[in-house]
Chain A
Amino acid sequence: MSVATQAPASAASPVDEDARWKYLNHIRQTPGPFTDPASQDEVAMRMFDNFKVLVIGAGGLGCEILKNLAMSRFRDIHVIDMDTIDISNLNRQFLFRKADVGSYKAEVAARFVMNRVKGVSITAHNKTIQEFDLDFYRQFQLVICGLDSIEARRWINSTLVTIAEEGDPDSIKPLIDGGTEGFKGQARVVLPSFTSCIECQLDMHAPRAAVPLCTIASIPRQPEHCIEWAHVIAWDQEKPFPKLDKDDPEHVTWLFNKAAKRADEFGIQGVTYSLTQGTIKNIIPAIASTNAIIAAACCNEAFKLATSSVQCFGFENNYMMYSGNDSIYTYTFNHQKKPDCPVCSDQSRPLDVDPKATLQELLDSLAVRPEAQLKAPSIRAEGKSLYMRAPPQLEEQTRPNLTKTLLELGLADGQYVNVTDKAFNTQFDFTLVFK
């Protein structure tokens, strides 16, 4: 790559700002058949200028998303990523240069885009998403995720569902989620608490293809099997270090040597240090073009949501999957909300209770309350098994709670409790309201 690309735009000929936004403004100011007429007035035009977006992840997808948002004239962007830049990122995470290796991704990406696009403010947070409270997330109108972790997606999803309040449209923060795996990817829009959420769609994520343990233990056929053997079995038997750190070269070298020895014994070729690293960290080769396509789809939705110039994904079609494995294929459909989704099911009801009532009395009342009619309920609060009807030993352990009052059990006004009943396939959520 030539040196010239590293210089900020200001060093070259200045960009004509009017020309830069000419086409974007044209799109916004020219109504089409799907344009909401309300999006054309002055108020709507100005709203877009104050739109605040949060981007989670500044990696392969994140770099694309930040660039696309800035080039779509989003002006107030925050980005969260706690990772630092690794040399292996440079082939596709195009906002980073060799000199940036070791620096925070969020910080470098923000700086790069701000240098290139005049008028955009990007605030970098070199942290994990879990370090922020609800009020932090409430300040945004929209969240876009470019993550490779399902756990992080589930976390932000349940956080945004928690923020969503009935009767307050501003509390609904649309979540646009992009994900890629090799030549495959998906882009989806979640309107928290209204439409199918990440948790509803959990089974759309094929869990990673694992190799049967017995294959690893007895009949390895591929170099990956030898590496998994070193990782899952040899490490456990020999425990060369107290805890495996997949980023520690010494640990990876230990695994690599073990795997290479085993590969030798079975006449298998191809165990290398980098394959060892890739296998234990479950790295699927990232394809730059897949990231570009998925990020473009995500930012397109963000633009539609923020400007109402066209109907966005959400109520109808909400899930676009893309496959570039054999030719190019996309399929867009409406993923239905799961009525028993543990995160977004719309069943949390206020439950009027006397704090001096016993747990038994509360459970008895659930049987007769028309909204519940539960005959054999099990009930839990956060971090507390109040009464579990099954399995039998847990029933025995929690039975003494039945004669305690709600106050004695440490339950508070506004406490959320979850009730399950074997007779029903769904869960019942209640918020206790003390009389």
Chain B
Amino acid sequence: MLKIWSMKKEQKDAENAEGHASGGKKKKITAAQLRVQKDLSELSLGDTMKTDFPDPDDILNFVLMIEPDEGMYKGGRFTFDFNINQNFPHDPPKVRCREKIYHPNIDLEGKVCLNILREDWKPVLNLNAVIVGMQFLFLEPNASDPLNKEAAEDLRNNRDGFRRNVRSAMAGSSVKGIAYDRVLS
């Protein structure tokens, strides 16, 4: 037996002596799932957020509902589809808003401009960081990172007008010729 193999055995024996004994290691759960399980049990949703798991056995696909209790989007109910692939946490989760809403950082297809969902994502970030970021988007819509350019200009030029447009869009009216979904709960 070559040295490398005997060295391994020695190290293993030493570990066992230290009490780190292990049983079988037949893991069938993928690393992505293990990580999501851990992230979910550490999630702090507060009063303004709820999750829904259409299939509780599939924790990689779920829905997050945000109901802001302050700010311009107060009283709305926004639904996001979370789709996590097997390459998580190397890849960030994919997040998409189901409703068509008037928001400078969310486009009409529901794509979300949040730095940690894309260019600033790191494997050390967890789902909690993502939902905190999402919540923040409703408290502080950001005109300097526009995805819906009209909404961003509106916010920059006329905050009160923007606020009124947000309210009518949330009520299901059209703003600047575009019909938005009613999201008032």
Measured CB to CB, the residues of A under 8 A from B are 36, 38-39, 44, 47, 150-151, 154, 158, 161-162, 164-167, 169-170, 172, 174, 191, 193-194, 199, 202-203, 205, 207, 209-214, 217-218, 232-233, 236-237, 305, 308, 312, 314-315, 342-343, 346-350, 378, 380-385, 388-394, 397-398, 414, 416, 418, 420-422, 427, 429-431
* Sample of 20 further A-B pairs with CB below 8 A, known A162-B27, A218-B146: A38-B2, A44-B2, A161-B27, A165-B25, A207-B91, A212-B145, A214-B105, A218-B147, A233-B107, A315-B7, A342-B31, A348-B23, A383-B57, A385-B57, A391-B51, A392-B51, A394-B51, A394-B53, A420-B41, A422-B41
**In whole angstroms, what is the CA distance A167 to B105 when docked?**
55
- Verify A212–B115 contact, CB threshold 8 A: yes
- Verify A210–B3 contact, CB threshold 8 A: no
Of the listed stretches B67-75, B121-129, B177-185, chain A binds B121-129
**In whole angstroms, what is the CA distance A312 to B2 when docked?**
12
- Verify A346–B41 contact, CB threshold 8 A: no
**In whole angstroms, what is the CA distance A431 to B87 when docked?**
25
Query: Is B132 at the interface (CB under 8 A from chain A)?
Result: no
- Verify B40–A217 contact, CB threshold 8 A: no
- Verify B41–A380 contact, CB threshold 8 A: no
Residues facing A in B117-161 (CB within 8 A) are 118-119, 121-124, 145-147, 149, 152
Dominant SS among interface residues on chain A: mixed
State whether A203 and B124 are in contact (beta carbons under 8 Å apart), knowing that A164-B25, A194-B12 are contacts in the complex: yes
B6 to chain A, nearest CB (A): 7
- Verify A308–B3 contact, CB threshold 8 A: yes
- Verify A427–B34 contact, CB threshold 8 A: yes
- Verify A429–B27 contact, CB threshold 8 A: yes
State whether A420 and B37 are in contact (beta carbons under 8 Å apart), knowing that A202-B90, A391-B45, A397-B56 are contacts in the complex: yes
B40 to chain A, nearest CB (A): 6
Residues of B within 8 A of A47 (CB): 2
A265 to chain B, nearest CB (A): 14
B124 to chain A, nearest CB (A): 6
- Verify B147–A214 contact, CB threshold 8 A: yes
- Verify A394–B56 contact, CB threshold 8 A: yes
Closest 9 CB pairs of A and B: A342-B34, A169-B5, A36-B3, A214-B145, A382-B28, A350-B23, A397-B56, A210-B119, A213-B113
**In whole angstroms, what is the CA distance A283 to B25 when docked?**
36
Q: Which has the most chain B C-beta neighbours within 10 Å: A209, A314, A380?
A: A380
Q: Which has the most chain A C-beta neighbours within 10 Å: B50, B56, B112, B149?
A: B56
B156 to chain A, nearest CB (A): 12
- Verify B4–A314 contact, CB threshold 8 A: yes
B97 to chain A, nearest CB (A): 13
A69 to chain B, nearest CB (A): 18
**In whole angstroms, what is the CA distance A139 to B1 when docked?**
17
- Verify B111–A212 contact, CB threshold 8 A: no
Residues of B within 8 A of A392 (CB): 45, 50-51
Q: Which has the most chain A C-beta neighbours within 10 Å: B4, B92, B123, B146?
A: B4
State whether A172 and B5 are in contact (beta carbons under 8 Å apart), knowing that A203-B124, A416-B29 are contacts in the complex: yes
- Verify B56–A391 contact, CB threshold 8 A: no
- Verify B90–A393 contact, CB threshold 8 A: no
Instruction: Across the interface, name the chain B residue whose C-beta is closest to A386.
Output: B57
Residues of B within 8 A of A305 (CB): 4
- Verify A431–B26 contact, CB threshold 8 A: yes
**In whole angstroms, what is the CA distance A199 to B90 when docked?**
10
**In whole angstroms, what is the CA distance A52 to B104 when docked?**
58
B98 to chain A, nearest CB (A): 15
Q: Which has the most chain A C-beta neighbours within 10 Å: B41, B43, B147?
A: B41
Instruction: Across the interface, name the chain B residue whose C-beta is closest to A377.
Output: B41
Residues of B within 8 A of A194 (CB): 8, 11-12
- Verify B111–A213 contact, CB threshold 8 A: yes
Residues of A within 8 A of B50 (CB): 391-393
Residues of A within 8 A of B4 (CB): 174, 305, 308, 312, 314
Residues of B within 8 A of A164 (CB): 25
**In whole angstroms, what is the CA distance A164 to B87 when docked?**
23
Residues of A within 8 A of B123 (CB): 202-203, 207
- Verify B90–A150 contact, CB threshold 8 A: yes
Residues of B within 8 A of A203 (CB): 122-124
Residues facing A in B159-180 (CB within 8 A) are none
Residues of A within 8 A of B12 (CB): 166-167, 194
Choose among B24, B45, B149 the residue that contacts A218 (Cβ–Cβ < 8 A).
B149
Choose among B29, B107, B122 the residue that contacts A207 (Cβ–Cβ < 8 A).
B122
- Verify B119–A346 contact, CB threshold 8 A: no
- Verify A416–B53 contact, CB threshold 8 A: no
